[in-house]
Structure 1
Amino acid sequence: MAKHSHEFVETYDGFVGYGLDRQTDEHTVHLYLQKFSDDSLMNTILKRMTDEDLAEVFDTASKMLKKYLTEPEYHQLFLKDDKG
């Protein structure tokens, strides 16, 4: 059974746009990130990204994880393990 899920992108049928209100912003970011992480898109875009682009994406994601997750949440939600 898969550990990761991307169900939101498959079921969301609401407005996609940023700046209208907080809930729409959250839905839009949720949708964009799930679409962005699609394997076929990643296989294409990663080869075209510069070393600086890769570092920027990695650093931004790492900063978000450290800022918004506790250590146990990091292990449970991101690493998908039982440690922490």
Structure 2
Amino acid sequence: MKKDTHQFIQEYNGIGAFGMDRTSDEETIMFYMQKFSEDAFMKTLLPRLSHQELEEIYDWVNTYLKKHISENEYHSLFLKDR
């Protein structure tokens, strides 16, 4: 059974523009992040990144996870191990 989903991107009909309003900004970030994380795109991008760039992405993600997500949310929503 699949644990991970990208359902939003399948149904999104918004304009995908940043800077108009909070709702559009959130939708645009969700759109970008789901497109960004597609396997085929990652297989193309990752080998082109330097070790420092990989580390910066990893650190950026972890910084925001630690700042805004509880330990329980991290396990249940991000890792899906509970």
Tell me how large the CA RMSD over aligned residues is.
Answer: 0.6
In the alignment, which residue of structure 1 is the partner of 2:73?
73
In the alignment, which residue of structure 1 is the partner of 2:57?
57
Question: Which residue identity lines up with residue 7 of structure 1 in the other structure?
Answer: Q
After the TM superposition, which of the residue ranges 35-44 and 73-82 deviates more from structure 2?
73-82
Q: In structure 1, what is the Cα distance between the partners aligned to 2:20 and 2:70?
A: 30
CA-CA distance at 1:45 after TM superposition: 0.2
Q: In structure 1, what is the Cα distance between the partners aligned to 2:65 and 2:5?
A: 18
In the alignment, which residue of structure 2 is the partner of 1:22?
22
CA-CA distance at 1:15 after TM superposition: 1.0
Runs of 4+ in 1 over 6 A off after TM superposition: none
TM-score by length of 1: 0.95
For structure 2, which runs of at least 5 residues remain unmatched after alignment? none
TM-score by length of 2: 0.97
In the alignment, which residue of structure 1 is the partner of 2:2?
2
Give the number of aligned pairs: 82
Q: In structure 2, what is the Cα distance between the partners aligned to 1:55 and 1:21?
A: 31
Q: In structure 2, what is the Cα distance between the partners aligned to 1:47 and 1:10?
A: 27
Q: What SS does structure 2 have at the residue aligned with 1:29?
A: helix
Q: What SS does structure 2 have at the residue aligned with 1:27?
A: helix
Question: Which residue identity lines up with residue 15 of structure 1 in the other structure?
Answer: I
